[in-house]
Structure 1
Amino acid sequence: MPLPNDYNYTPVIALISSPRLASYGAAFKTTSDDELYGVYVWSQHAASALYPLLQNLEISLRNAVDQIAKERFGEFWWEHIRCTEQPEDNNFYQNIKKAKLSLTKNWNKLEKRRRKGGIKAQQVPEWSHDQIIAATDFSTWHFILNNCFSAYHPADNVHYLWPKSLSKVFRNYASINRDQKKVRKDLTDLLFEMREYRNRVFHHEPIWAKAPDVNDAVSSIGTIIIKIEKLEKLIGAIEPRLLKTMQMAGFFKHARRVCSIKELNIYKNRELVCELTSEQKNTLYPHCMASMERNETMFWQQDNLKFGLHLIS
């Protein structure tokens, strides 16, 4: 959290690539090493706050599509739905193929170890539906929304995934666009944007959007808030109850709190300390000490609201 400004950060900064740190300094207008490293640490905490939002979107989308498709077409539903493209030319089918190859590759590694242990060689197993689905990546569930999986004529709806399954996979699609003929394109565009953003966050790239008008802390953090809003909208389109559950769990409030100027300034050691009276400090002191000694959050409830206190520096 707050970093001392009288510490020598040069050896630490030397271990981080200059081009990477330069983008932080340029975007957040840092003026010292402690500010620069503070921004870098803040961005890691901000990324960790975004992780559950991205993870819930990916998993809920995957399972929503898979559950409905399995109900309509059977366990290995991708072998039975119609598609206007050949499998070898289609990204979704290629991802299913990659998932199977990944399972086989990992199995072969384990098989080599088993053989060294004297265990008799075994054949590669037939991968189950659940194993294949679990081995797919986010892009698989973006590609399945493509037009090639949608019927052009109502008489063919029974053979295609879309548009018949749209309202069951995206239970609240109207929150994106009430026009069912246009909403799949809107969903595809949003999911592509979030998939690209997910890759940036998970691959330790800067989590703000780079653009000519993004040139300071306010505008940089503003681009992150826009991503949070879009994640909220997409998750709500898939399942409003999941969105409500995540809101009750505080995921979105936490992300917005961490991804803020006030929180950034704490990491830069530039935020003003909250002034407390002596009486308030004396009341809090034993709880602060207990939290520090146990390295845990002190938790209490006030008017049906939950609060926590822990050491940050």
Structure 2
Amino acid sequence: MQPANIQQTHTDISVARLSSYRTMFHGANDHELYGIYCWNEALSATLFRLISITEVVMRNRFHTALSLHLHSHRSVGRNDSNDWYNHISLSAKSSDKIRAETHFYHKKSNSWRPKKRQPSANDVVSRMTFGFWPKLLDISGIAWGQLLPQIVPGHRYKDAKYWSVIKHQDAFYARMDLVNRIRNRIAHFEPVWKQGDLYEERRERPGSPKPIIEFHAPASPTEVILRLKLIHDRITELLKWLSPDRYNDYMSSYVERHFNWICSAEGLDAYKQLQPGVNMPMARFKRELNSLLARQAMVTVSRKNRPVGTYYPMLR
């Protein structure tokens, strides 16, 4: 949206918040900085949609695999959905998260008591945060080598021998942790383009060398775009591991095409000029197609004042 008062808009957003934009996108004037701020919001929205799809699949994979595991070993509840979280050694923090859903705090007795109407296992797991799931890999006494092939059926390695190796579990943990950190950055309204050094997908453990830096922090708008594309690729790969079908659905979706348009030099420039897209009727779109191709513009096409599709240019 076009700001009516650009100085007040900067004040409302926070001059301090925009200072990092001014440093990275050196030379941009006040209107262009606001456009880049809107660009970041659009990027965050598309990435968050992808992360949300991935998160739902991830928790359901863990939930089903652990339910089946506990049912077969201890005959706990339904085989595909039960309270496995009450029968394994969760960390104190994870236990507190579960208890907050299954119990209430009784002030007079200064104790936690079970809710009279217990939520279903599906309800409990649906309320766990993204970070709850990677931490499960730290729990001992669970045959992760056998369970992980069920959790990531789309991974190129499908045998228990591979997944029994700690460094392979750590790589999976690191991938989930990367997505969780991006999710938290977006949820806290931090600039998603602002990334630090990217380390190899490995966990730091006592007695082992520290993970090495694969990519240093982006130092230019071009590097920012490349890093965001890399992050997007790693999230989509995680989704593919978890569910090849959901991955295929996403890759053929409007959201994926929209991300590719926004996360490009052309998309950045369009937002920078406060012209992220053009709306026009079908007849005009046909007449002006050649000029739109030259302008590399994204166009929402309408018929009888109703959107019927979006045209994305072939990016260089």
Shift of 1:290: 8.5
Distance 1:174 1:98, change over 3 A: farther
Aligned to 1:21: 18
Distance 1:26 1:69, change over 3 A: same
Match of 2:237 in 1: 233
| Counterparts of 1:234 and 1:171, CA distance in 2 | 11
More helix by share: 1
Question: Is the 2:229–2:263 Cα contact (8 Å) retained in structure 1?
Answer: yes
Tell me which amino acid in the other structure corresponds to 1:252.
E
Q: Deviations over 1:174-208 (max 9, x none)?
A: 36999321321101011111111100012110102
- What secondary structure sits across from 1:204 in the alignment? coil
Q: Which has the higher contact order (CA 8 A, sep 6+)?
A: 1
Check conservation: 2:145, 2:162, Cα contact below 8 A. no
Please name the residue that 1:298 is paired with. 308
Alignment partners' CA distance in 1, 2:144 and 2:6: 55
d(CA) in 1 for partners of 2:126 and 2:19? 38
Pair 1:179 & 2:171 matched: no
Q: Does 1:218 align with 2:203?
A: no
- What is the distance in 1 between the residues matched to 2:176 and 2:227? 17
Residue deviations 1:240-262 (CA, integer Å, cap 9, x gap):
11111111224333212211111
Q: Between the two proteins, what is the percent identity of the paired residues? A: 19
Matches within 5 A, 1:55-204: 55-73=52-70, 74=76, 75-81=82-88, 83=89, 87=90, 89-100=91-102, 104=104, 124-146=116-138, 148-149=139-140, 151=141, 160-174=142-156, 179-180=162-163, 181=165, 182-204=167-189
Q: Give the structure 1 partner of residue 110 of structure 2.
A: none
Distance in 1 of aligned mates of 2:143 and 2:135: 12
Query: Retained in 2: the 8 A contact 1:61–1:238?
Result: yes
The match for 1:49 among 46, 50, 59 is 46
Map of 2:35 onto structure 1: 38
Give the C-alpha shift of residue 291 in structure 1: 3.1
Q: State how many pairs are aligned.
A: 259
Q: 1:51 to 1:176 in 2, by over 3 A?
A: farther
Alignment gaps of 5+ in structure 2 = 71-75, 77-81, 106-114, 198-215, 290-298
What is the aligned partner in structure 2 of residue 157 from structure 1?
none
Cross-structure match for 1:247: 251
Contact 1:49 1:255 in 2 (8 A): yes
What is the distance in 1 between the residues matched to 2:311 and 2:24? 32
Conserved 8 A contact 2:151-2:242: yes
Matched residue type, 2:243: E
Alpha-carbon distance change, 58 to 281 in structure 1, aligned in 2, over 3 angstroms: closer
CA contact (8 A) 1:232 1:243 kept: yes
Structure 1 gaps of 5+ residues are 106-122, 152-159, 300-306
Conservation of the 8 A alpha-carbon contact between 2:300 and 2:307: no
Q: Is the 8 A contact 1:45 1:258 kept in 2?
A: yes
SS of match in other structure, 2:39:
helix
Contact 1:65 1:169 in 2 (8 A): yes
Query: Considering only CA atoms, is the larger Rg found in Structure 1 or Structure 2?
Result: 1
TM value normalised by structure 2: 0.71
2:79 matched residue in structure 1: none
3-state SS of paired residue (2:12): coil
Shift of 1:35: 0.6
CA deviations on 1:8-60 (whole Å, 9 max, x unpaired) are 41111111112210111111224311111000011111111111111011111
1:22 and 1:176 mapped to 2: Cα distance?
Answer: 47
* TM-aligned CA deviation for residue 213 of structure 1: 4.6
The 2-side partners of 1:247 and 1:98 are apart by 37
Indicate the SS of the match to 1:15: helix
**Are 1:262 and 2:266 matched, yes or no?**
yes
Task: Give the secondary structure class of the aligned counterpart of 1:298.
Answer: strand
Paired residue secondary structure (1:291): strand
SS in structure 2 at match of 1:173: coil
Segments of 4+ in structure 1 off by > 4 A?
175-178, 279-282
Instruction: Describe the shift of the 1:175–1:139 C-alpha distance in structure 2 as closer, same or farther (beyond 3 A).
Output: same
8 A contact 1:29–1:217 mirrored in 2: no
Would the aligned equivalents of 1:175 and 1:237 in 2 still touch at CA under 8 Å? no
Shift of 1:72: 2.5
